[in-house]
Structure 1
Amino acid sequence: MLAESLHLDRCASSEVLGNGTAHSRVHTVSPKDRSKLSINFLSGSTPRADADPYPRHQSSPLSRRARGVNRPDTARNNADDVEVAAAEASNGQARTFRLDIVQHPDRTAEFGASTLTRLPLAPPLIAQLVMRDSAGRIIIDEMELPFLVAQLSLLTSDGSASMDYVTDDEGRSTHERLLYGNLVSSPHLLRNLQGRRGVYFMYPDVGVRQRGRFVMKVTLIRLPRMDDPSALANHGGGTILTEARSLPFDVYPYRDYVAPAQTPLTQYFLQQGARMIPPPPRAL
């Protein structure tokens, strides 16, 4: 009877854990479960699966999704949301560059000669860099980013002429700059409101000296590499890759200016550590 009981213990373990194949592990069966197995054996009935004190349950669909098992790989299926590793993206293949202004300035107040109390453009201009490889995929090449900068310049409302300097009554340009602030931005790796990672250029402290209606131009420049012979041949000058223009905005008299509310994009970039709050201005 003892041998039959031991045989029942092993059979119960194989019935629960196996599906026609042998399993080397033997579970320890409690005296209560041993009695149930003996009764089932004497009555000729098949032992139930709940005799195993450690039943194996299939994962529910919810638990599988929580672990990411059923989560689709959208990053690789969507050609507009692909990030290529730096080693793969820096293999010398041809690529294209585009600047998209994702936040246009709306207004500001003229600061005249009071550079210390100037008000910046609101909301601050934000441009996104879109870099594509030879296959048309959007890439983020972090090895390339240290050599990229974006420069800001001022144009007339129709974009036909440059307005970087103040003109006198006869229309001649003076040495007094019309656009003031940090006009060159380095790239920032941030996530947008949809959670997608991207490269952005920001100008949080730029002001305009005189009232009027203007357009901003953003120019993407690649700085020369010291190990690039072609850059040395060009006397170390940068290469213009692309440019973009903002929508027209207005510069009001200081007394008539009303600042707009902070945008959700500005708030989200601030939460990620971007320096969007303008620093204290310095005198020319």
Structure 2
Amino acid sequence: MNNFGESDRRSDGPGAHDTTGYSHPRYGVPDMQTGGSSEHSQYSGHGRDSALAGGMAAIAVMGPADHGSTLEMIPNAQRVDPCTLPPPDPFLQQFHPRLRAFRFTIVQQPIRARMCGSSDKDWRPLSPPTVIKLELFDIDGNRVIENSFMQHLVVHTTLWNESKEEELTVVELPHNTNSKRISAAAKSRKRGVTHFGQLKHEPGLEIENNLLGDYSATSMIVDDETGQRGCFFVFPNLSIRLEGRYKLRFTLIKLPEMQRPALMAPKCVASAFSDAFDVYSIKTFPGMIESTALSRALAQQGLKIPIRNTQDN
């Protein structure tokens, strides 16, 4: 049985990692720096409001003005013992009175990529694409889908070094530097930029995006590789310019709703770091891995995910 609030492993995918989180102020968001729960990073449903990061504009979304929404119980989903769940969360219960808690899980981890060029035609996506699952639980421990909550969620990602101490989504690099020297410069200078701070630009250095692709993903209700219905966030085209070892940070954000005064501000609901992965130079890249069963299942339902077989060149 999974111990809620801790991490466990899936055995049905490469590098799968389960990062759990619950939206109750008593428990807080899992602190990915320490592996535990931290009151300094509480869910903003009952803690600090947080502006959207990484250049994302606040988006107002029309939503229902009352509790007219319904819970859809997921067929054949394993029920969780209610005693293992946190107490019912008032923030979630604004969307439906029977909602109790949620779990935010990275179910497919990135493993490797080839460093890409600055041109849009030279993107080299992470393999496999990162997939995140959001599970909702009602007061009886049933896994459910509640659209008025899920349809107003996005997950935003940023790039960090392996120790999670420095953000590297954007970096400063010397002008007119080739790819080999760029890699060396990035490792030696280690100039990361957080989205909540100001970049102190120095003469002779050029600001560059190190992480390319779509930084944000909206929720999609689809089936996984076992046919289980669920809410997923997929990042199929993230690419990285500089060789190195990294982690991705994923932040679950609740968008504002114009018709609910209590929900007008965007809220950072949960966050999780991926496992560490490697970005290789052109000469050392061992190649993309075979597409997973989960990637294939999502692609068959219309998601734009690159599918690759081991026999492909």
Equivalent residue for 1:99?
Answer: 104
Partner of 1:272: 301
Do the aligned partners of residues 154 and 191 (structure 1) sit closer, same or farther apart at CA in structure 2, a change above 3 Å counting?
same
Q: Distance in 2 between matches of 1:77 and 1:128?
A: 14
Q: Deviations over 1:97-131 (max 9, x none)?
A: 32111111111011142332111001000010112
| Residue 97 to residue 167, structure 1, CA distance change in 2 (3 Å) | farther
Q: Pairwise mapping of residues 1-284 of structure 1 onto structure 2 (< 5 A)?
A: 75=75, 78-80=78-80, 90-92=95-97, 95-168=100-173, 170-172=189-191, 173=193, 175-232=207-264, 237-257=265-285, 258-277=287-306
The answer to whether the Cα contact below 8 Å between 1:123 and 1:263 also exists between their aligned partners in 2 is yes
- Secondary structure of the residue aligned to 1:199 is strand
The question of whether the paired residues in 2 share the 8 Å contact of 1:156 and 1:214 is answered with: yes
Sequence identity (%): 27
Q: Secondary structure at the match of 2:96?
A: coil
The structure-2 alpha-carbon separation of the partners of 1:124 and 1:89, relative to structure 1 and needing over 3 Å to count, comes to same
What CA distance in whole angstroms lies between the structure 2 residues aligned with 1:225 and 1:193? 33
Pick closer, same or farther for the CA change 1:133–1:107 going to 2, 3 Å: same
Partner letter of residue 236 of structure 2?
P
Deviates more, 1:147-156 or 1:187-196: 187-196
The count of aligned residue pairs is 195
Structure whose CA Rg is larger: 1
Distance 1:150 1:120 in 2: 18
Offset at residue 166 of structure 1 (A) = 1.2
Helix, strand or coil at the partner of 1:254? coil
Query: What CA deviation, in whole Å up to 9, does each residue of 1:57-96 have, x standing for no partner?
Result: xxxxxxxxxxxxxxxxx94794149xxxxxx994345543
Stretches of 4+ moved more than 6 A in 1?
Answer: none
TM-score, normalised by the number of residues in structure 2: 0.56
Task: Kindly report the root-mean-square deviation, in angstroms, between the aligned alpha carbons of the 2 structures.
Answer: 2.7
CA shift for structure 1 position 226 = 0.2
Is contact 1:98-1:243 (8 Å) kept?
no
1:43 aligned partner = none
- 1:52 is aligned to none
Q: What letter matches 2:208 in structure 1?
A: E
The amino acid of 1:227's aligned partner reads: Q
Q: Whose RCO is larger (CA < 8 A, sep 6+)?
A: 2
Residue identity matched to 2:128: P
1:163 corresponds to which letter in structure 2? L
SS of match in other structure, 1:267: helix
Deviates more, 1:96-105 or 1:171-180: 171-180
Letter aligned with residue 300 of structure 2: Q
One-letter code aligned to 1:79: R
Structure 1 length normalisation: TM-score? Answer: 0.62
Provide the rounded CA distance (Å) in 2 between the counterparts of 1:132 and 1:189: 16
